[in-house]
Structure 1
Amino acid sequence: MTITNTAPDTVGHLLRGWRERRRMTQLQLAVDAAISTRHLSFVETGRSRPTPEMIDRLADTLEVPLRERNALFLSAGYAPHYAQHDLQAPELRAVADAFRTLLDAHMPHPALVLDRWWDVVDRNAATDVLLDGCAPELLEPPVNAIRISLHPDGLAPRIRNLSQWRAFLLTQVRHRLERTADPRLQELLDEVESYPSEPRTDAATSDVIVPLRLRVGNEELSFFSITASVLSAVDATIEDLHIEAFYPADSATTAAIRESASMSKA
């Protein structure tokens, strides 16, 4: 009996890994992708080389991100099908300008543009209130929003509901790690999980979202965030970017921000 071994970097091995990560059987994936189970089995074991169209069809079904989809094409011997421009490339200028417009329009509320690793790509001036008091080394580029939020020399000492906010952020990192299988996210998760933590506390009964309760001077400001991304992206860099926009979670925070904004204009 001949047993076909699939090398770890072959397209079949990678596709099988994505299928298992999505907790799908071969039958489920074959049905959803409208191909035969036999063909899928041959692809996964390396007995059949998938066409670029087949790779895209399976990747669509498995919701493989564009960056990892390019790795599938390369492992099958094809050129990457999706662009992956540098953030400063002229091709990304229109998107970068659109993000900047949104950041400016969100003033006087904090907003940031983050990449898939939560590194800060751009931000508006209102985020200064969030970063005030953080250790200088944490503010060295690239500033990582997860690290600076949970590090004991970052925002952590000023976050009044640290255990709740920490649990929320770690869940977000785990979800993205599950979606992308990105080793850099695993490194980030391992790092921030090692930071000192306190026992988990229950959310206030009045909470309808997880707030960020931050001590600023003698006040406590409370925010919630909304995330926005470019759903039509066909460039891996653009797909990885998203805006994290913070809004006041209570009337006291709204009043404090308005007062601060009016004083800065005076």
Structure 2
Amino acid sequence: MSPGRITTVAVDFSRTLRDRRSSRRLSQLELAVRAGTTQRHVSFLESGRSAPRREMVIRLAESLDLPLRERNGLLVSAGFAPAYPRTPLDAPALAPVRTALRHILDAHMPYPAIVVDRHGVLVGANAGFALFEEGAAPELLEPPVNVYRLALHPEGLAPRIVNRAEWARHVVENLRAAALRDPDERLDRLVAELAPYAPDVPPGPGHLGFAVPLRLRADGGELRLMTTITTFATAADVTLAELRLEAFLPADEATAARLARRAVTGPSA
């Protein structure tokens, strides 16, 4: 018996491998080339005619570019122990990480920046995040705060978003794509909840795809913000690998000036 083999887990590797490969629209040959094996071997693995070695499961998971959580799932489905730890973010071992995240968030001031998990739950934020809390219903700000719900809910940020339909479609489509790429029941439920907030109408002629600015009413004018997203792709811990740093940057000089001013004086009437 191979080291790390789990005999009490139902082996479901063949179907899981086939589903993950299909969801990424890869042929057996393409996956085989990436993983350094043969199409015949991939075919035998997907049909259950061959049992994979642990090393092959890890290579296939890497070749499919699966998140660490899914790589663990593929290993378990083949009867092996997970390879990647999932450390609680508040664990002492991750104290240096928490400190580093706080430095990054604070350094982004006077512009808003947040850290969220894969479901949009707020993990950390700088003082600029107060911009998105103004006027929101108290229940939307009760921990754990889901920033996507806060953004699209009629009692959250939505009434202040000038391009509300475009932004809602942008958020929902990104969440739906994430749920299709890496199946997750909790993410599916979030998409189902938020989808009604995104109008089912074709994008206009000025639609820019993923490049959707956030146009927000605040401080007696309109703020125009663009977002940047940073992930911790080299992390070997599931918790860290699933964090996203979302930083908001001014899209024009007027927005930059207003955000700098409110960082000193607070929001204006």
Question: Normalising by structure 2, what TM-score?
Answer: 0.89
In the alignment, is residue 167 of structure 1 matched against residue 169 of structure 2?
A: yes
**Contact 1:163 1:199 (C-alpha < 8 Å) held by counterparts:** no
Cα distance in 2 for partners of 1:54, 1:136 equals 50
In the alignment, is residue 245 of structure 1 matched against residue 244 of structure 2?
A: no
**Contact 2:136 2:155 (C-alpha < 8 Å) held by counterparts:** yes
CA displacement at 1:223 relative to structure 2: 0.8
CA displacement at 1:175 relative to structure 2: 2.4
CA displacement at 1:209 relative to structure 2: 3.9
Picking from 31, 35, 38, the partner of 1:36 is 38
Rate the CA distance shift 1:38–1:225 in 2: closer, same or farther, 3 A. same
CA displacement at 1:169 relative to structure 2: 1.0
CA displacement at 1:86 relative to structure 2: 0.9
In the alignment, is residue 68 of structure 1 matched against residue 65 of structure 2?
A: no
Q: Secondary structure at the match of 2:197?
A: coil
1:90-141 CA distance string (max 9 Å, x none): 2222222111100011111100001111111011111111111111111111
Picking from 126, 149, 152, the partner of 2:151 is 149
**Contact 1:33 1:61 (C-alpha < 8 Å) held by counterparts:** yes
Match of 1:211 in 2: 213
Question: Normalising by structure 1, what TM-score?
Answer: 0.90
> Higher mean Cα deviation, 89-98 or 106-115?
89-98
Match of 1:236 in 2: 238
Cα distance in 2 for partners of 1:84, 1:153 equals 34
In the alignment, is residue 255 of structure 1 matched against residue 257 of structure 2?
A: yes
CA displacement at 1:199 relative to structure 2: 5.1
Cα distance in 1 for partners of 2:116, 2:50 equals 39
1:59-91 CA distance string (max 9 Å, x none): 111111100111111111111100111111122
Q: Percent of pairs identical after alignment?
A: 44
1:205-228 CA distance string (max 9 Å, x none): 999942111112522111111111
Partner amino acid, structure 2, of 1:76: A
Match of 2:25 in 1: 23
Match of 1:138 in 2: 140
Alignment of 1:116-135 (within 5 A): 116-135=118-137
Match of 1:227 in 2: 229
Cα distance in 2 for partners of 1:97, 1:202 equals 43
Unaligned runs of 5+ in 1: 1-7
Cα distance in 2 for partners of 1:100, 1:203 equals 40
Q: Secondary structure at the match of 1:221?
A: strand
Match of 1:115 in 2: 117
